[in-house]
Chain A
Amino acid sequence: MNSLRKLTAPAFIAALAIAFSGCASMPAENPRLAQLDDKLKTAYGDKYVAEYGQGDLTKAGASLAAARVAWRAGREDETQHEIAMTENHLVLGGIHGEQERVKAETIALKDRLDQIRLASRDAALRDANEKVEIYKSDAVIASAAIQNAQAAAQTAEDKNRVDAVVATAAIQNAQAATQSAEDKIAAMKLQLSVYDLKVTALGATLVLHDVMFDTDSAQLRSGSVDRLEPLISYLRAAPGTTVRIEGHTDDTGSVQHNNELSLDRANAVKRALMVSSTVTNTIDTFGSGQSKPIATNATASGREQNRRVEITLQ
C-alpha cells in the first residue's frame, strides 16, 4: 500500500507534465522538454530507478512541469534552470537506482562466492577423506607386512633355535658316537690286546701272522684256535659287528696258488670262528695272495710278515 502511495505522486506529476505537453491549444512544444519527458518515462520503466530513485524522479517531474510553465510564459532563464534541475534530478535518480542494482548484484555474487567456497570446501573435505582412507589402507597393509615380517623373523628364529638344538643334539650324538666308538675301540683294544691291532679306514684290523699255519697249508695249527678265543669273546659281545677276513701270502709259489691258499686260510679262520655257535656275526672272506705285501719278500723275516690273515671289525 505504501509503495503504491509512493509511486502515485511521481506518476501523477509525470502524467501532468506529459499532459501539458500534449495540449493542442498550447504553443509549440520545446523539443528539449519533450526529450526530458521521454527520459522521465524511461526512468520510471527501470524498477531500481523507480523504487530507489523515486524522490529524485518526483523532483525531476516537478522541475519539468515548472520548466514547461516557464517556457509557455516565455521566461527563458527560468526554463533553462528548471531544465538543468530536471536533468540532474534524473541523473541522481539513475545513480540511486544503479547503486541498489549494484548492491543486489554484489549480494548475488557474494552468495555465489559462498556457494563456490562451500563446494570447494566440500570437495577438499572429500579429497581429504579419500586420502585418509588411502592412508588407513596403507597403514593396514604396512601393519600386515610388519606382522608377516615379524612372523617370518619369529619363524626364522624358531628354525634357527630348532636348528641349533638339532645341531647341538647332532654334535652331542656325534660326540657320544665318537665317545662310544672310542670306548668301543678302547674296549676292543683291551679285549684284543693280544693281537696286533691297528685302526684303519675299514675299521679295527687285527693281524694273524703265519705262525698260525704250517708252511703252504691252510690248516690251523693245533692251539691256534685258542689264539682266536679273545676275538670270539669280543664278537659274542658285539653281534652287530661285521667281520672281514682277508688272507695274504709271500711271493713263494705261483700267484694262482697263493690266491687260493690265502682264501683257504681266510676261510679256515672263518670256520674256526663259526665253531662257536654263539658267534652270529656276518663274516666275509677274501684271498689277496701275494698282491698286498707289507714287507720285503727278499728276506725270511719279511716273507714271514707277508704271510698273514687280517681280520677287520666294522
Chain B
Amino acid sequence: MTPFQRLSPLISGLLLSLAAVPAFAASAELNAQLGIARAQASIDLVSKENPAQTRDRSFTDAQQRLADARIAAEKNHDREALWLASEAELLADVTAGSAKLAGLQHTRAEVAHGIEILNAEIRK
C-alpha cells in the first residue's frame, strides 16, 4: 500500500468535510432568512389587524429583535439571526394574543355592565 493509498481515506474525509462546510453555511443562512421572513410576516399581520397594539412593549420588542436579526444576518451570524427572528415572531404572536384577549375582556365587561344596568332598572 502506497502512502497515498494509506492516506486516501483521510484525504477523502477531509475533502468531504471541506465540501460540507459551505453546504451547512448555506443552510444556516437560508434558515435565518426564512426565520426573518416569518417574523416580518407576523409583525406585519399585527400592524394590519391590531394597529392599536403597535405601542405594546411586546410589539416594540418584536420589532427590535427583528432589526437585530437583520443586523446579525448581515454579519453572517446566521445562528444568532435565526434566534432573534424566532424571538421576534414569538413576541408578535404574544402581541396578537394580547389584542384578542383585550377584545374578549372588553366583551365580558360590556356584558357585566349590561347586567348592572338591567339590575338597576329592575330595582327601580
CA–CA, A206 and B90, complex, Å: 147
CA–CA, A81 and B97, complex, Å: 21
Tell me, rounded to whole Å, the shortest Cβ–Cβ distance linking B82 to chain A.
9
Residue in B closest to A81 when the chains form the complex, CB atoms: B83
A165: interface (CB < 8 Å): no
Contact in complex: B98, A95 (CB < 8 Å): yes
Tell me, rounded to whole Å, the shortest Cβ–Cβ distance linking A94 to chain B.
9
Contact in complex: B101, A98 (CB < 8 Å): yes
Q: Pick the contact of A88: B91, B112, B115 (CB < 8 A).
A: B91
CA–CA, A102 and B109, complex, Å: 10
> What residues on A are CB-neighbors of B84 within 8 Å?
81
Q: Pick the contact of B94: A91, A106, A117, A120 (CB < 8 A).
A: A91
Q: Pick the contact of A95: B80, B86, B94 (CB < 8 A).
A: B94
Tell me, rounded to whole Å, the shortest Cβ–Cβ distance linking A278 to chain B.
103
Contact in complex: B90, A99 (CB < 8 Å): no
Tell me, rounded to whole Å, the shortest Cβ–Cβ distance linking A177 to chain B.
79
Tell me, rounded to whole Å, the shortest Cβ–Cβ distance linking B46 to chain A.
13
Interface residues of B in 73-124 (CB under 8 A from A): 80, 83-84, 86-87, 90-91, 93-94, 97-98, 100-101, 104-105, 107-108, 111-112, 114-115, 118-119, 121-122
Q: A106-B111, A109-B115, A117-B118 are in contact. Are A78 and B90 (CB under 8 A)?
A: no
Residue in A closest to B105 when the chains form the complex, CB atoms: A102
Report A72-103 CB contacts with B as 1/0, cut-off 8 Å: 00000110010011001101100110110011
CA–CA, A286 and B118, complex, Å: 106
Q: A99-B100, A116-B122 are in contact. Are A109 and B112 (CB under 8 A)?
A: yes
CA–CA, A78 and B119, complex, Å: 56
CA–CA, A98 and B84, complex, Å: 27
CA–CA, A91 and B83, complex, Å: 18
CA–CA, A214 and B85, complex, Å: 172
Residue in A closest to B99 when the chains form the complex, CB atoms: A95
Q: Pick the contact of A106: B90, B93, B104, B121 (CB < 8 A).
A: B104
Chain B contact patch, size range: 20 to 34
Q: Pick the contact of B115: A77, A85, A116, A123 (CB < 8 A).
A: A116
Contact in complex: A113, B94 (CB < 8 Å): no
Contact in complex: A110, B105 (CB < 8 Å): no
CA–CA, A120 and B114, complex, Å: 13
Tell me, rounded to whole Å, the shortest Cβ–Cβ distance linking A253 to chain B.
112
> What residues on A are CB-neighbors of B115 within 8 Å?
109, 112-113, 116
Contact in complex: A109, B108 (CB < 8 Å): yes
Q: A113-B111, A120-B122 are in contact. Are A89 and B80 (CB under 8 A)?
A: no
> What residues on A are CB-neighbors of B97 within 8 Å?
92, 95-96, 99
A105: interface (CB < 8 Å): yes
Tell me, rounded to whole Å, the shortest Cβ–Cβ distance linking B79 to chain A.
8
Q: Pick the contact of A120: B101, B107, B118 (CB < 8 A).
A: B118
CA–CA, A106 and B86, complex, Å: 34
Count chain A CB atoms within 10 A of each CB in B93, B101, B115 and give the residue with the most: B101
Q: Pick the contact of A116: B58, B87, B118 (CB < 8 A).
A: B118
Q: Pick the contact of A81: B87, B108, B111, B121 (CB < 8 A).
A: B87
Count chain B CB atoms within 10 A of each CB in A78, A81, A85, A96 and give the residue with the most: A81
Q: A92-B93, A103-B104 are in contact. Are A116 and B86 (CB under 8 A)?
A: no
14 more A-B residue pairs beyond the given contacts A96-B97, A106-B107, A113-B111, with a C-beta to C-beta distance below 8 A: A78-B83, A81-B83, A85-B90, A88-B87, A88-B90, A88-B94, A89-B90, A92-B94, A95-B98, A106-B104, A109-B108, A109-B115, A110-B111, A113-B115
Instruction: Rank and list the top 7 A-B pairs by shortest CB-CB distance, nearest first.
Output: A95-B97, A81-B83, A109-B111, A102-B104, A106-B108, A88-B90, A99-B101
Sample of 13 A–B contacts (CB below 8 Å): A77-B83, A81-B84, A81-B87, A88-B90, A88-B91, A91-B94, A95-B98, A102-B105, A106-B108, A106-B111, A109-B112, A116-B122, A120-B118
